[in-house]
């Protein structure tokens, strides 16, 4: 009888511990304000109603209690126009559900996009987290402007192709936002980024230390950034071949295939050398990444928990 009682007590204790751990995990990402995920260039919210741009990230955040929305903006357009589109989406969410502010998380061109919103509508924003974003521009965009100068036949041809691809992506995602590949290329170039930063300088590293950190908080908004410095990460990922070519624009500079290491810096730099390439950062393609690389979804969850602990 005593042995039976001990086993019963052990089972009860195990159940209590399991219940406690489950309760903790189910609220691990339960931020005060909703999380809004913002895609980059040639991005979308969901294709065919099933394939997420942030692959499995919304589900992972929701499993810990977060309220998550995924923005669907122009696949190709300027940072400012995409920012205005995002403002309209946030105002709509505020009107429908009563949300006061949002934790904005942007990948790639989504980084400047959410910075625009924080600059012109700080009342909507609790925090900014940029992932692999070209805050001082991308050398790939600069290189394309050299290979196909603005106004040239090559430039028009590339723009037409990207616009057509963007329209197709919008169709597959069930949307029809305006596309402007030339405006996107200008925004993502070094001169375009410099002009943008002069108008929206919040949390940018100082001009004499572009590879440093920026202010952790501006106008009550917390700023964070992270990025990667690997390119060829998985032999089964077809996108690695494209990134392997695009990295040539960077010479010896550390990069993720599309964005330089220092260009990703904004606010508090959580880490700028994850073993991820540009698409790995959004858990693409289908979560293929390096064998020993950390899970992007775990990093997103940790960031949500950080925001939660700050009361955001």
Q: Return the closest-CA partner of residue 45 out of 19, 11, 79, 68.
A: 68
The one catalytic residue among 108, 127, 230, 264 = 108
217 is catalytic: no
What is the per-residue burial (b if ≥16 Cβ within 10 Å, else e) of 255-293? bbbbbbbbbbbbbbbbebebebbbbbbbbbbeebbbeeb
108 is catalytic: yes
278 is catalytic: yes
The one catalytic residue among 237, 256, 272, 280 = 256
Residue holding tokens 């929206």?
200
Instruction: Please provide the distance, in angstroms rounded to a whole number, between the alpha carbons at the two ends of the chain.
Output: 52
The one catalytic residue among 237, 265, 278, 280 = 278
- Tell me which residues are annotated as active site: 108, 256, 278
């Amino acid at each position: 009888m005593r042995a039976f009682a001990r086993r019963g007590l052990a089972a009860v204790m195990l159940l209590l511990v399991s219940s406690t751990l489950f309760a903790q995990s189910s609220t691990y990402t339960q931020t005060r304000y909703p999380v809004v995920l913002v895609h980059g260039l040639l991005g979308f919210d969901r294709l065919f109603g099933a394939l997420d741009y942030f692959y499995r990230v919304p589900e992972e955040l929701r499993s810990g209690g977060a309220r998550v929305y995924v923005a669907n903006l122009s696949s190709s357009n300027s940072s400012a126009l995409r920012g205005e589109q995002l403002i309209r989406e946030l105002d709509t969410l505020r009107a429908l559900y009563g949300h006061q502010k949002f934790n904005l998380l942007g990948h790639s061109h989504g980084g400047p996009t959410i910075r625009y919103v924080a600059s012109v509508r700080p009342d909507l924003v609790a925090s900014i987290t940029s992932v692999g974003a070209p805050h001082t521009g991308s050398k790939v965009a600069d290189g394309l402007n050299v290979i196909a100068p603005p106004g040239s036949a090559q430039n028009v041809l590339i723009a037409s192709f990207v616009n057509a691809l963007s329209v197709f992506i919008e169709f597959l995602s069930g949307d029809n936002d305006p596309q402007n590949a030339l405006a996107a290329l200008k925004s993502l170039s070094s001169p375009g980024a410099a002009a943008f930063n002069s108008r929206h300088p919040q949390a940018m590293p100082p001009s004499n230390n572009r590879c440093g950190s920026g202010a952790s908080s501006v106008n009550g908004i917390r700023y964070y950034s992270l990025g990667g410095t690997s390119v060829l990460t998985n032999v089964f990922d077809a996108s690695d071949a494209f990134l392997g070519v695009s990295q040539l624009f960077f010479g010896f500079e550390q990069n993720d295939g599309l964005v330089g290491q220092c260009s990703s810096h904004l606010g508090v730099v959580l880490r700028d050398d994850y073993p991820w390439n540009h698409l790995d950062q959004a858990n693409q393609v289908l979560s293929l990444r390096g064998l020993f690389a950390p899970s992007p979804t775990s990093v997103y969850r940790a960031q949500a928990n950080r925001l939660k602990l700050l009361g955001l």
